[in-house]
A and B are shown apart, each in its own frame.
Chain A
Amino acid sequence: MQLKQGLKIALKNLRVNRSRSILTILGIVIGITAIILIVSTGKGAQNLILGQIQGFGSKMAVIIPGREPKGANPMSMLELLYSDSLKEKDLEALEKKGAVPNLMRIMPVVFGGVSASYGSEIYRLTVFGASDLAAEIYNIYPATGAFFTEEDIRANADAAVIGAKVKEELFGDSEALGQKIKIKGRNFRVVGILPQKGSGSMVNFDEAAFVPYTTAQYYLFGIKYYHRIAVEADEEKNVDQMISDIKTVLRSSHNITDPEKDDFYIQSQADMIKTVGTVTNILTMFLVCVAGVSLLVGGVGIMNIMLVSVTERTREIGLRKALGATKKDILVQFLLEAIALTLSGGLIGILMGSAFSFVVSLALSRLAGLTWTFNFPVFAAFLGLIVSALIGLGFGLYPAKKAAMKSPIEALRYE
């Protein structure tokens, strides 16, 4: 028996039992659909986040207090939240001429969630204590007004630059520039209003307010340390050099000799991209595994139906054997049927998964205003086909073997 003829017989048998075949492959269809959808949207989300990280500029790096987290150790996470190792003296040491030759810009950042009010309107926002460099670093230039100045920072001035959403929530259509909003009992003069940036940034600037970091430290949070220090190198190729220079300076400032005991760590854009890539990949893999369970269940369903089919067709098997079919012929015929089942399930799943993820990408880009691109996951589709064929092979093998082992006389006698 040739493969072509075997395939013809297999397809014919599936057609004869059409509704049963469709129900049987449903599990495979759902599994493959889910996997394609997950991989495709996962890739889309990853691209979105990576795009935003890249938006911060490839010359950027950020110094973070605390020990670098290695794995998901809850203690190190806690340490990270309460670490106060980055202080003003570090800033001064880094700013010292010649200490870090490639350092172009440096900006300390503190942040936290606070309530802001104007008149009777109250709005909860994230306040960023930053410097005037924030505009350039984050590429956020006020649509009206201007950023606070270096002078404001030195003077612990009560000046605030607010996001578009904050303006809308607190002021509605009325003029905001020059008005005073109240944060933690302190009046801040609105000096600038940011343009609408849209959600989906890593940091939602629409729902944020910028104040001088000095003011934020002393009056809002009551701390003497920084949550982050953002740094920018003069050129992209010097980022690594800058980072290692910064490490040297900070270690001497913190009296650390053993790099293992660093109480800070530095993430460059490349590091962040790597981290995001790892995180989204792990997440995607996890979800794919969950969807894989459906494939497993689908496979068991295939095996079940194939066993029923073998029993039902006992006479046919006996007849074929009497007419000259070998064990191998029977085995191949039933295997081909199982594979034809799962493979068609896989194909339908790939089509449906692609269609769904296209709709999702359309919805996210049109309705949520994200720069979301549709990705046809070629690799996942290819893998889906192979996996579904393997499921047919794996779960079809036992029924097919059972069919092949039937004795022709027993089978012909079977009623």
Chain B
Amino acid sequence: MPLIEVKNLEKIYQDDQTATPALDGVSFDINTGEFVAIMGPSGSGKSTLLHILGFLDRQSKGEYRFDGKTINDYFEEEVAHIRNKKMGFVFQAFNLLRRTSVLENVKLPLLYSGIKESLWEKMALKAIESVGLSHRLHHEPSQLSGGEQQRAAIARSLVNNPQVIFADEPTGNLDSKSGLAIMKILQKLNEEEGHTIVLITHETYTAEHSQRIIKLKDGKIESDFSVERRFKVGDHDLK
């Protein structure tokens, strides 16, 4: 059973007079362990799609199953719990809490997890270590570079060991070298630790770090193909 099943998904933004379709019949599956990039120009509906996939929004029509269940199978509190336990989010603007250390930022999802507080430190340290930020534990976001901030945000998305990580333009606010470092981390998480990753980007170059690209245009799938010549970020790229 695929982790993510999307069938004829539609999303229409209803204004007073006009109805704007953002997604217009989208279908695809994503299996556990895949690293998929959803690509498209702005306005193609990729952010809308990610919001629906992340249970942050509801579709207008069609069906979306995550781990076999739709958002309507859950009460609102349970949806929050699914987001907390099974999904990790990485945003373009990092969205770290200001005046809060890396360690505390990474612990944030644990606050809503129901996990005992005594275990938080260990879980957070492990996540921070996997993004190579252990030397910045007590720094606040304002003391970090953009790349470091995004690594902290990735650590935060990892801390609950989710089934999927949704990354919305994670390199969009970064210079190319920091961006590459982020892609390297995502590749590592996918290959070495088996995390499923759904990446949203408008850059072909970034998308080609994944295994599969779903191209959106005007709310429809334009193409859905495996990446033949995948970019692997090597250590020499970061020098």
Contacts and interface: CB of A to CB of B under 8 A. Distances in A.
Nearest to B156: A323
Nearest to A322: B89
Contacts of A165: none
B114 to A, nearest CB: 9
B83 interface: yes
B238 interface: no
Among A1, A325, A328, A329, chain B packs the most CB atoms within 10 A around the CB of: A325
A67 interface: no
A408 B79 CA distance: 12
A199 interface: no
A25 B54 CA distance: 40
Interface in B8-38: none
A360 interface: no
A119 to B, nearest CB: 81
Contacts of B97: 316, 319
Contacts of A113: none
Q: Is the interface of B mostly helix, strand, loop or mixed?
A: helix
Interface string B55-77: 01100000000000000000011
Interface residues of B, number: 23
Interface in A1-23: 1-2, 5, 16
B95 interface: yes
Interface residues of A, number: 20
Contact of B95 (A5, A319, A325, A328): A319
Given A316-B97, A324-B83, A326-B76, A1 B56 contact: no
B81 A324 contact: yes
A362 interface: no
B59 to A, nearest CB: 13
A322 B83 contact: yes
A324 B56 contact: no
Contacts of B56: 321-322, 408-409, 412
A327 interface: yes
B76 A327 contact: yes
B108 interface: yes
Given A5-B117, A408-B56, A409-B57, A323 B99 contact: no
Contacts of B156: 323
A329 B95 contact: no
Given A316-B97, A409-B56, A325 B80 contact: yes
B140 to A, nearest CB: 11
A5 B76 contact: no
B99 A324 contact: no
Nearest to B108: A323
A1 B83 contact: no
A320 interface: yes
B85 A324 contact: yes
Contacts of B91: 319, 412
B112 to A, nearest CB: 4
Given A1-B112, A315-B95, A412-B95, A322 B77 contact: no
Contacts of B85: 324
B144 interface: no
B99 A16 contact: yes
B134 interface: no
B112 A323 contact: yes
B94 to A, nearest CB: 10
Contacts of A409: 51, 56-57
A320 B89 contact: no
Interface string A325-342: 111110000000000000
A320 B108 contact: yes
B113 interface: yes
Nearest to A408: B56
Contacts of B57: 409
B77 A326 contact: yes
B171 interface: no
Contacts of A320: 108, 112
A321 B117 contact: no
Interface of B: 51, 54, 56-57, 76-77, 80-81, 83-85, 89, 91, 95, 97, 99, 108-109, 111-113, 117, 156
What 7 A-B pairs are tightest by C-beta distance, nearest first?
A324-B84, A324-B112, A326-B80, A323-B109, A319-B95, A408-B56, A326-B77
17 contacts: A5-B111, A5-B117, A315-B95, A321-B56, A322-B83, A323-B89, A323-B108, A323-B112, A324-B80, A324-B81, A324-B109, A324-B113, A325-B112, A329-B80, A409-B51, A409-B56, A412-B56
Given A323-B108, A324-B84, 17 more contacts: A1-B111, A315-B95, A316-B97, A319-B91, A319-B95, A321-B80, A323-B84, A323-B112, A324-B83, A324-B85, A324-B113, A326-B76, A326-B80, A329-B80, A329-B112, A408-B56, A409-B57
